[in-house]
Structure 1
Amino acid sequence: MANASDWQETLDDLDRRRRHTLGMGGHERVAKHHAKGKLDARARLDRLLDKGSFRELGMLAGEDIAADGIVTGSGLINGAPVMVGAEDFTTLAGSIGPSGNAKRYRVAELALRDKIPLVMLLEGAGHRASGERYGRTPTDLLAQAQCSGRVPTVAALLGPSAGHGALVAPVSDFRIMSSQGAIFTAGPPVVKESTGEDITKEDLGGPNVALYSGVVHNLGEDDEAVLDDIRRYLSYFPSSAWSYPEQVAEDIAEDGETAPRPTPELLDIISRDNRRVYNMRSVLDVVFDNTDWFEVQPYFGKAIICALAHLGGHPVAVVANQPNVLAGSIDADAADKAAHFIMVADSFHLPIVFFADNPGMLPGSRSERSGVLRAGARMFAAQTAATTLKLHVTLRKAYGFGSMVMSLLGFDGQEATFAFPGATMGAMSAAALSKASHAEENLAARLREAELTASFRSAGHLGFDELIDPRETRDQLLDALRRGLRARQAAAEPVQRTVILP
C-alpha cells in the first residue's frame, strides 16, 4: 500500500525548485529593482490580476535560470480569464532564452485556443547572448500575429525593452508605458557601436519619443497606474471576437447614469459660430454615461479623439474631431490613429460613435509631405469596411474627405446619421470656395447663404436620417444603439477583412 511519506523527498525537491524560481534574480537584484520605484515581475502580475487568481505555467523552465527570465500563466481580470506574461528584469535582464521563447509562444497559443485576452508586461533586453542554439523553433510573434483581431492583445512597457521583446508591443492592439518605460530596436550600446551616436535610453525610446511617434498609445505614471489602466481598457472588450461586449449591469451602474436624459449642456458648450473652438471632451462628458470614459492615444494625432465609453451601459468606441486642435482639421497622425482604433473596435464588435466637426483634411505642403492623403485613405478604408454598428452626428461642419472618413458618406452601412440644424457640409466651406473660384461678391453671398441652409436641404433629400436638437443627442444615439443591437441574433464571429489598407 502506498505511503504518503514515500512522496516526501520528491515533494521537497519540487518545493526547493519552486522557491528558487520565486526568488527570481536573487534578493540583491530584486531589492535594486524595487529601489527604482518599480514592481518586480511577480508583483506586477499580482497587481494586474484579481487577487489570488494567478496560475503559473512553465515555472520550472530554464532550469537554473529562474523561470528563464519570464513569468507566464493565466489569471482573472474583472472575473474574466486572461493569459499573461511578465518579463523578469532581475533575471538576466529579462532576456529571452530557448525555454522563455517557448513559454511566450505557449501563452499566445493558449490565448487564441481558449479565446481570451493576452497581456504582456515588458522589460527585457531581447534575445539572450549565449551559445545556445534555437534551431527551427516557433517564435512568439507568430502566435501573437494569429491572435490579432481574434482576442484582445495588450502590451505594457514598464522599463527598457529592446530587440525581439520590443516587437511584442507594436503588434499588440493597445500599448501603454510607464514613465520609466522605453522601447527601441536596439539599446544605446548597440546604437553607439553601429552608428557612433551617443544617446540615453530615454532619448532613444522613452515616453517623449514613443508616445509622440505613435509606437505607444498611453502613459501611466508608474507600474501601478499602468496595470490599473490595463484593467480599465479590457473592461470595455469581450473576451474574444467570438463574443459580444457585455452591458454594464444595472446594479453596478450609478443611479440613473445609464438612463435616457436630455443634453441641454451642449447648447452652452458648442457655439453656433463655426469659427469658435470648443473642447470635444466636454461633449463626451455630457453625452456618455459618465465622465470616466477612457481615451486611447491622447498624445498622438490630437486633432481626433479616440475613446472607449458607455452609452446606456453598452460599451462603445468613440471617434471625434477635436475643434481646439488645428480647428478640427484631420492630419496624417490623427487619421493613422483613428484607422487603427476603428479596426480594433470593429474586430471586437464595439459600436462606433462618430462626432464630426472639421473643415476637412489638413491642407498645406507640410501636411502633404506627411502623407495626409494616404493616411486619410487608410482611415476611410478602415471605417467603410467596418461591419460593426456605426452612429454618426455632424455637430457643426464636415467638409470634403473630412466628412467621408468620419462616416458621413451616404449608404455607408451606418445604423443612424444625425446632424444639428445649421450644420454645414460640402466639398469645402463657402469662404474657401469663393476664394478658389474668384467669386464675385454677389456669388460669394449666395454661397454663404447656401452653406447656412445646407443641413435643411440635405435632410430634405435624406442626406441625414434626422436633424436633431442638440438637447436630444444622447437620447437619439441611445435609441439608435438599442435598436441596432437587436441585430445580434446570431453568434459573434471574427471579422473577415476584405480591404487592403492604403
Structure 2
Amino acid sequence: MGGPERVARHRSKGKLDARARIEYLLDPGSFQEFGTLVGGEVAADAVVAGSGLIDGVPVMVGAEDFTTLAGSIAPGGNAKRYRLAELAVRHKIPLVMLLEGAGFRPTGAHYGRTPTDLLAQARCSGRVPVVTGVLGASAGHGALVAPVSDFSIMSRQGAIFTAGPPVVHESTGERISKEDLGGPDVAIPSGLIHNLADTDEDALDDIRRYLGYFPSSAWSYPPALLSDETTEPRATPELLDIVSRDNRASYDMRQVLDVVLDTPDWFEVQPGYGDAIVCALAHLGGHPVAVVANQPDVWAGSIDAAAAAKAAHFISVADSFHLPLVFLADNPGMLPGRESERAGVLRAGARMFVAQTTATTLKLHVTLRKAYGFGSMVMSLIGFDNQAAAYAWPGATMGAMSAAALGLASGATEDVAAKLREFELLASYHSAEHMGFDELIQPDETRDALLIALRRGIFTRQAAPEPVLRTAILP
C-alpha cells in the first residue's frame, strides 16, 4: 500500500485499510489477488482487486487504497476495475466494491476509447448482485459505482460526492466540508446510499448478511435454509394485539414482520429513506423473500414519493434475482398535498407500479386493514396481476378512496354518506364474493397462509432461471 506511515495514519482514524477490509469481508484465507504489478511503482495502482469467498460462495471484490495516491484511478486501475466486473458476469458471481478514493488521477495519459470500468459494471446490473461499501471519502468517477449498485452502504466516516470540497470551491466559490457535502446526513436522506453502519466492520458484516439472501447470479435461485423449528408453520395470534381494529390507530409494521417471518433478525433495506414503506429481506419457511410493507406509523401508511421510489428499486432488485415478493398492505392511498405533489408522488408511484406489475417472480399479497386507490395498486392489490396468492383480513376496507373522503368529494347527503360507510365496512366480503381475494383469512392465520402459498408457488421453479427481460419504460 502507501507505506507504513500512511497506513498507520489511516488506521489511527478508526478505519481499516484496503487489504484489511478485504480480509475482514472474505472467508479466511480465500482471497486471490490479480493485477499486483499494475501501476509499476504505484502499489497495485491504488486498487486491490481479486476474488474470494463469502460463506463459501465466490465473489469478485475490489477496494480502493486511499493510502496510495488517495485511491485515485489511472488507466491501469481502471482496467483492473473493468476486469473485476467482467469476471463477475462471466463467472456469474457477485461483485463487491469498497470505495475510498479521489476519482480520476491526473496522469496526462489519454484514455481515448479505452473501456471504462462503469461500462462493465453497468452490464452486471440484473445479472449478478452488485454491492458497494462507501468507507471513506469517495469522489468523482470512483463514486459512480454506488448509484448503479443494487445495494450501497456507508460507514459514519464515509462521504460521497460528484466532486470534493476543493473542486466545489473552485467551481462555485462555496466552502464546504466533505461531511456536509456528502456525508451520511446528506447521502442517506437523499436516497443515494441505502444503509448506514457505524464502523467499517459493521458495514462489511452487513454486506455479508445482504448477500446471504441472494443467489450468486440471475442464472440461479436464492438458497433456502435447512428446515428447523423456525421455518415451520405456526399461528400468529400476537397480531390481534399489535394491529388495532381501529383503522385510524397507528402501529409499527416491523412488529408484524417480527411475528410473521421466520425470525425477527430480518434485514431492512434503506430504513432512513421513504420510511412510509418498510423494505425487508427475510426468510419465510426457510426461503429468502423480499417484503414490501406499508408503515402505519408514518403518514398513516400513505405512500409518499420517497417511499415509492425506494420500493420500486427494491422490487426490481428482488425480481431480478428471483426472490418472492410479499406485499403487506395497510394504507389510505398515495400521500396527497402540495408538498407531496411537488416531490413527484405520482411519477414515483408510477415507477413502483411498473416495477411490481412487470415483476415475474412469485408475488403474495395480504391486505391487513385498508388499501385505497392507486396506493392499493402499487401494493399488488389489483386483479389478474399474476399473484400466487391474494388475501385480506375480514373487515379490511378498500376502494377508490375512503367513504369519508368520497362523501366530501361528492357532496353526499348524510343518508348517502351512511350508506357509503356501511359499504366500506363490507368491502372485503363483497370483494371476496367476486374473487377479489383468494380468501379472507383471520390475523392468526397470516403466516400459515403465506407459507402454504409460498411453498406451492416455489414449484414454478421447474426450468433453469435466467435474467429477467424488462420491456416497460420506467416513468
TM-score by length of 1: 0.94
Q: Following TM superposition, by how much is the alpha carbon of 1:280 offset from its aligned partner in structure 2, in angstroms? A: 0.1
Out of 87, 106, 110, the residue aligned to residue 64 of structure 2 is 87
Separation in structure 1 between the aligned mates of residue 350 and residue 260 of structure 2, nearest angstrom: 29
Is 1:174 aligned to residue 147 of structure 2?
no
Structure 1, residues 251-280: CA drift from partner, whole Å, max 9, x if none? Answer: xxxx51000000000000000000000000
Structure 1, residues 407-460: CA drift from partner, whole Å, max 9, x if none? Answer: 000010100000000000000000111111111111111111110011001000
- In structure 1, the partner of 2:420 is 447
- In structure 2, the partner of 1:341 is 314
- In structure 2, the partner of 1:18 is none
Q: Report the 3-state secondary structure (helix = DSSP H, G, I; strand = E; otherwise coil) of the residue aligned with 2:96.
A: strand
Q: Following TM superposition, by how much is the alpha carbon of 1:75 offset from its aligned partner in structure 2, in angstroms? A: 0.2
Separation in structure 2 between the aligned mates of residue 161 and residue 186 of structure 1, nearest angstrom: 9
Q: Following TM superposition, by how much is the alpha carbon of 1:349 offset from its aligned partner in structure 2, in angstroms? A: 0.1
Q: Report the 3-state secondary structure (helix = DSSP H, G, I; strand = E; otherwise coil) of the residue aligned with 2:145.
A: coil
Separation in structure 2 between the aligned mates of residue 224 and residue 365 of structure 1, nearest angstrom: 42
Structure 1, residues 33-68: CA drift from partner, whole Å, max 9, x if none? Answer: 000000000000001000100000101111100000
Q: Following TM superposition, by how much is the alpha carbon of 1:133 offset from its aligned partner in structure 2, in angstroms? A: 2.4
Separation in structure 2 between the aligned mates of residue 281 and residue 358 of structure 1, nearest angstrom: 15
Q: Report the 3-state secondary structure (helix = DSSP H, G, I; strand = E; otherwise coil) of the residue aligned with 1:486.
A: helix
- In structure 1, the partner of 2:271 is 298
Is 1:364 aligned to residue 337 of structure 2?
yes
Structure 1, residues 182-216: CA drift from partner, whole Å, max 9, x if none? Answer: 00000000000100111000000000000000000
Q: Report the 3-state secondary structure (helix = DSSP H, G, I; strand = E; otherwise coil) of the residue aligned with 1:354.
A: strand
Q: Which amino acid aligns with 1:228?
A: D
Matches within 5 A, 1:426-437: 426-437=399-410
Is 1:38 aligned to residue 15 of structure 2?
yes
Q: Report the 3-state secondary structure (helix = DSSP H, G, I; strand = E; otherwise coil) of the residue aligned with 1:309.
A: strand
Is 1:243 aligned to residue 220 of structure 2?
yes
Q: Which amino acid aligns with 1:265?
A: E
Is 1:127 aligned to residue 104 of structure 2?
yes
Q: Following TM superposition, by how much is the alpha carbon of 1:130 offset from its aligned partner in structure 2, in angstroms? A: 2.0
- In structure 2, the partner of 1:146 is 123
Structure 1, residues 205-243: CA drift from partner, whole Å, max 9, x if none? Answer: 000000000000000100000000000000000000000
Structure 1, residues 325-379: CA drift from partner, whole Å, max 9, x if none? Answer: 0110000000000000000000000000000000000001111111110000110
Q: Following TM superposition, by how much is the alpha carbon of 1:132 offset from its aligned partner in structure 2, in angstroms? A: 2.3
Q: Which amino acid aligns with 1:310?
A: H
Q: Which amino acid aligns with 2:132?
A: A
Q: Which amino acid aligns with 2:388?
A: E
Is 1:412 aligned to residue 415 of structure 2?
no
Is 1:207 aligned to residue 209 of structure 2?
no
Is 1:458 aligned to residue 431 of structure 2?
yes
- In structure 1, the partner of 2:351 is 378
Q: Report the 3-state secondary structure (helix = DSSP H, G, I; strand = E; otherwise coil) of the residue aligned with 1:137.
A: coil
- In structure 1, the partner of 2:244 is 271
Out of 300, 314, 330, the residue aligned to residue 327 of structure 1 is 300
Is 1:311 aligned to residue 284 of structure 2?
yes
Matches within 5 A, 1:61-140: 61-140=38-117
Q: Which amino acid aligns with 2:137?
A: P
Structure 1, residues 132-168: CA drift from partner, whole Å, max 9, x if none? Answer: 2223210110001100000000001000000000001
Is 1:403 aligned to residue 380 of structure 2?
no
- Identity over aligned pairs, percent: 76
Q: Which amino acid aligns with 1:374?
A: R
Q: Following TM superposition, by how much is the alpha carbon of 1:249 offset from its aligned partner in structure 2, in angstroms? A: 1.9
Out of 225, 229, 234, the residue aligned to residue 256 of structure 1 is 229
- In structure 1, the partner of 2:162 is 185
Q: Following TM superposition, by how much is the alpha carbon of 1:498 offset from its aligned partner in structure 2, in angstroms? A: 1.3
Q: Report the 3-state secondary structure (helix = DSSP H, G, I; strand = E; otherwise coil) of the residue aligned with 1:422.
A: coil
- In structure 2, the partner of 1:13 is none
TM-score by length of 2: 1.00
Q: Which one is further off, 204-213 or 438-447?
A: 438-447
Which consecutive unaligned segments of at least 5 residues does structure 2 have? none
Separation in structure 2 between the aligned mates of residue 466 and residue 385 of structure 1, nearest angstrom: 24
Q: Which amino acid aligns with 1:366?
A: E
Separation in structure 2 between the aligned mates of residue 37 and residue 232 of structure 1, nearest angstrom: 22
Separation in structure 2 between the aligned mates of residue 291 and residue 79 of structure 1, nearest angstrom: 25
Q: Report the 3-state secondary structure (helix = DSSP H, G, I; strand = E; otherwise coil) of the residue aligned with 1:154.
A: strand
Q: Which amino acid aligns with 1:135?
A: G
The count of corresponding residues between Structure 1 and Structure 2 is 475
- In structure 2, the partner of 1:162 is 139
Separation in structure 1 between the aligned mates of residue 75 and residue 110 of structure 2, nearest angstrom: 8
Separation in structure 2 between the aligned mates of residue 290 and residue 485 of structure 1, nearest angstrom: 20
Q: Report the 3-state secondary structure (helix = DSSP H, G, I; strand = E; otherwise coil) of the residue aligned with 2:326.
A: strand
Q: Which amino acid aligns with 1:419?
A: A
Which consecutive unaligned segments of at least 5 residues does structure 1 have? 1-23
Q: Which amino acid aligns with 2:184?
A: P
Separation in structure 1 between the aligned mates of residue 126 and residue 55 of structure 2, nearest angstrom: 21
Out of 458, 461, 466, the residue aligned to residue 485 of structure 1 is 458
- Which structure has the greater CA radius of gyration? 1
Separation in structure 1 between the aligned mates of residue 225 and residue 208 of structure 2, nearest angstrom: 15
- In structure 2, the partner of 1:495 is 468
Q: Which amino acid aligns with 1:485?
A: I
Q: Report the 3-state secondary structure (helix = DSSP H, G, I; strand = E; otherwise coil) of the residue aligned with 1:307.
A: strand
Out of 19, 22, 34, the residue aligned to residue 57 of structure 1 is 34
